[in-house]
Copies of this chain bind each other. A is one copy, B any other.
Amino acid sequence: MSDSLRISRKFSQRSVMEAIVQGGPISRASIAKQTGLSKQTISEIVRALELEGWVKETGRTSGHVGRTAVTYELVYDAAYIVAVDLGGTKVRVAITDLACQIFAEDTEPTDPRGGQFIVDQIAQLAFQAASRQRIARNKIRLAVVGVPGAPDAQTGRVLLAPNIAGFDKMDVVAAFERAFGFDAMLENDVNLAVLGENWLGQGQGIDNLAYVALGTGVGSGLMVGGQLVRGAINAAGELGFLPLGADPFEAESLRTGAFERAVASHGMADRYAALSGRLISVPAIFENAQNGDEAALAVLDETARYLVRGIGAIAAIANPEKVILGGSIGLRPEILERVKAFLPQCFPYPVNVETGELGSRAAIIGAAAIGLGQLHNTLFGVDAPDGRISLPRASMTALQEAVR
C-alpha cells in the first residue's frame, strides 16, 4: 500500500469512525449522507472496521418507509485508557472505555516518598481497578497522568513541581511506561482541567478558553483555537509568577511568585491574620465571612480584587471567550460573585467568567479526554497536524452520570 494512498484511506476511515462514535447506532446509508462519501465506500470501510473488531452490528431500523437498515456501533470495550490526576496530597486514578464511560475511580493519599514510589502506587491502583472490573490488561492502551508542574517532553522529567518529590530528577514517562507496560503521557493538571471543562463542562464548544485554578497555589490553562497552549518549555500557565499582587522585585518572588503569594491560600490566611490577629484556615475564613465577620469579608474582597487583575491580564494578552474558575478557592460562589462585580471596574470590555461545572474532577475528565482523543487519533486518525479532539457527545451524559 502506498503512503499517500494510506493517508487518503485513513482520512475517510477516520470520518466514518467519527460518525459511528458520535452518531451512536447508525446505518451505513446515514454515514454516507453525513460524510459525503459514497455508500459503496462506506460499506467497504465499515466491513474493514468490523473485521478489525472496532465496530459491530447492533440492530436494524424500522418504522420508516423503505428497506430496513442495519445499524452499527462502537465496540466499546475494544480498548481502555487510564486517567490519573496526581496532586500533592491525593492521587486519583480512573479507567475509561472507548465510549468515554468511567469504569472505576479510586482516590488515595499520595505516597509522600515521591519518585518511583508514586509511580508504583499509581500503577497498582490502576491494575487493581482493572481486575476489579475484569478488564484485561492488554486492552489498556494508554495512560494520561496529570501532574502539578511542567512536564519536559525531551527528558520525561517534571519541572516546577515543588509538591512532588523526585519527579524533577527521573524520567517519569519512562518509569510509568515500565510500570504499566503501555504508553504513558504527562500533562500539566490545570491544562487537563481546561480540556475537561472544554469537553464536558462550562467550556463546551468554546475554542478560546481559559481556566484559573486557585487553591494552595495558582495556575492557569489556556486553549487557543481549540488547542492547548503549553509554551516553549511547558511552563505556560505558571500564573503564580504573574508580576502582580506582592512586589515582584522582592527576592522571595523568585521562589514563590508574587501573584501566588497575594492570592493563594497562604496569602489569604496571612491577610486575615493581619486584620484580625488570628491565624485560621481558608475554609474557616469562608465560614466566618458567611457569619458576617468583617475581617473575613475584607479578605474575600481583597482576594477577588487580586484575582480579577490576574484574569484581566489573561484577557488582555489572550482574549479568551470565557474564563473558568476552579480550585478549592476558585470554585466558591463567594469568589465568583465578587469577581463578576469587580472585573468591569478594571477591564474595558466584558469577560465571561464562571466557575467550573466539573469541580475537582475537571482534571481527570480532561485526562480521559486527551487520552481518548489520542487513542482515536492513533487508531483511526491521520497524523494530522491539528490534533483536535473530537469525542462523542452522546456518551457525555453517561460519563457525567458515572462521575457523580
Contacts and interface: CB of A to CB of B under 8 A. Distances in A.
Interface of A: 3-5, 7-8, 11-12, 36-37, 160, 208, 220, 222, 224-225, 227, 229-244, 248-249, 253-255, 257-259, 305, 308-309, 312-321, 342, 345-349, 384-386, 388
13 contacts: A3-B36, A4-B37, A224-B229, A227-B227, A231-B319, A235-B319, A236-B318, A237-B316, A241-B312, A243-B309, A248-B309, A258-B346, A313-B313
A242 to B, nearest CB: 5
B231 A208 contact: yes
A404 to B, nearest CB: 31
B224 A346 contact: no
- For the complex of A and B, the 8 pairs showing the least CB-CB separation, nearest first, are A231-B319, A232-B321, A248-B346, A236-B319, A243-B309, A243-B312, A235-B319, A385-B386
A206 B258 CA distance: 29
A229 B11 contact: no
Nearest to A253: B346
B243 A313 contact: yes
A101 B240 CA distance: 45
Chain B CB count within 10 A is highest, among A3, A227, A236, A258, for: A236
B12 A8 contact: no
A286 B239 CA distance: 34
Given A224-B227, A254-B348, 7 more contacts: A4-B12, A231-B319, A242-B317, A243-B244, A248-B309, A254-B346, A317-B317
A208 B345 CA distance: 32
A267 to B, nearest CB: 17
Contacts of A244: 243-244, 309, 313
A341 B249 CA distance: 12
Nearest to A321: B232
Nearest to A210: B317
Contacts of A243: 244, 308-309, 312-313, 316, 346-347
B346 A249 contact: yes
A36 B2 CA distance: 11
Given A243-B309, A244-B244, A388-B385, A316 B257 contact: yes
A318 B227 CA distance: 13
B8 A222 contact: no
B312 A314 contact: no
A257 B7 CA distance: 50
Nearest to A230: B319
Contacts of A231: 208, 318-320
A254 to B, nearest CB: 5
A131 to B, nearest CB: 40
A50 B290 CA distance: 77
A29 to B, nearest CB: 19
Contacts of A240: 316
Nearest to A306: B243
Contacts of A254: 345-348
A12 B3 CA distance: 12
A3 to B, nearest CB: 7
A318 B317 contact: yes
A323 to B, nearest CB: 11
Nearest to A229: B224
Nearest to A36: B3
Given A3-B36, A208-B231, A227-B225, A313 B321 contact: no
A318 B257 contact: no
Contacts of A257: 316, 348
B232 A320 contact: yes
Contacts of A242: 312-313, 316-317
Nearest to A352: B232
A313 B7 CA distance: 42
